[in-house]
Amino acid sequence: MSQDYVIDTNLLVYASNPEAVLNSKMPREAFEVAFTWLDHFQSGSGCVILDTSDVIVKEYRRALSEQDFGHLVLIELMTHQRVKYEVIDMDNDGFAMLPAGLENVRDRDDRKFVAVAIENTPSIIAHGCDTDWYDCETDLQRFNILLEHVLDKWCRPI
């Protein structure tokens, strides 16, 4: 893959831990799909997009162990300068601030991913299985941000 991505933490977790996938009521195949996606991204030339304040990296570190595949991929990307850093503004509660028109990004923890994507458009946010992303997809497209629903087969709301 040569495209740059913002990667939601859940995708890194699902690519690293088959138990997390099974605990989410998805089949083992979902782990394999997530793992393969991340492996292809690692093998490509695209960059991961992060924030200069390390809000995203801190979330990654809370969710992943040092032995997890997702963590190892991030270390490799950083080592090979395949990271783009963007400045994002935070509110008093520690959540990223977004412009008007993105009120449908209701999960305040996801706002940091949107904020770095806005600063690096056109962008793609890849996620594993977070149904909140479907609710704001149309609004994100207006800001030139696309979503890649890696585990769409198991997560698309009915």
> What pLDDT is recorded for position 8?
97
> What pLDDT is recorded for position 57?
97
Per-domain residue ranges of the chain: 6-153
> What pLDDT is recorded for position 1?
59
Question: With contact defined as beta carbons under 8 Å apart, do 149 and 155 qualify?
Answer: yes
Question: With contact defined as beta carbons under 8 Å apart, do 87 and 110 qualify?
Answer: no
The whole-model pTM stands at 0.94
**Number of C-beta neighbours around residue 146 at 10 A:** 15
pLDDT digits (tens, 9 = 90+) for 94-131: 999 999 999 999 999 999 999 999 999 899 999 999 88
